[in-house]
Amino acid sequence: MTTHAPAKINLSLKITRKREDGFHELETLVLPIPGLADELHFEAADHFSLHCDTPGVPTDETNLVSRALRLFEKNTNQPCPFKVTLTKKIPHGAGLGGGSADAAHTFLALNELTGATVPVETLAEWAGELGSDIPLFLYQSPCWCRGRGELIEATSLTWKKRILLFKPSFDIPTPWAYSKWQDSQEIQGISYAPQTIDELTLFNDLERPVFEKHRFLAELKSFLLDHPATEAAMMSGSGSTIFAVLRDDADAEALQNETLKLMDPTLWSHLAIF
């Protein structure tokens, strides 16, 4: 069995407070990204093993795929002796949810392969034990996430605009970004203001701490915001991906090439067409 785990971007991310349990109370609108997905292949075997084509990705029991499989075994009392081959397409540390998507789709695949028929709401509870943003990937649709991210409400949002994503070579650890949010300061001359697209308000409270440390991301956002091909631009999640919402008549390839030439030719990029 082969399944695909799509990436996501955050169209909005509002942090309201730091909770007593150390997590942050938030409200975020999440949009799956078509055409950008990790691939997981499950093959029957004598015992569980995880293989990955990307150097540096752990394949031991610390990987979220391994942890999801072990939790599924524990909670269903069903052994899952599969050889899992993970092919990475979503860059790591990008704010695109690659590892979390992999874990969520492991739950979904095992639910089908074992015939366990666990309701998605129950899978979401299990997923929340592994990470706050894993449950949202189980719903495979645009959704609002609240609480520490575990309260999911699917939405009928229809998104038609193309989005161009850029990621530099460095990663942003999500826990670090949240830990610096409360005491971070805005950079003078950089716009953090909400942006409006088809009655949606786009903003990201984590831009403040991340831009404070990584000035290049602030400059990349400003470059995209100022470009005539762009309708809006901001950071996804905790970064380090910056995305641009393109105008309907924009030349995406021209913007992509210009950004690479003028900002950083080593940027990873992806055009999402909805």
Write out the catalytic residue numbers: 8, 133
CA distances from 58 to 52, 63, 197 (A): 8, 6, 39
Question: How many C-alpha atoms does 114 have within 13 Å on its Cβ side?
Answer: 20
Nearest to 139 by CA among 15, 14, 31, 12: 31
d(C-alpha 11, C-alpha 243), whole Å? 10
Residue type, 183: D
Q: What is the radius of gyration, based on Cα positions, of the chain?
A: 19
Three-state DSSP state, 267: coil
Q: 71: closest CA among 138, 151, 5, 130?
A: 130
Find residue 30's DSSP bridge partners.
Answer: 10, 143
Burial 141-165 (b: 16+ CB within 10 A, else e): ebbbbeebbbebeeeeeebebbbbb
| Size of the chain in residues | 274
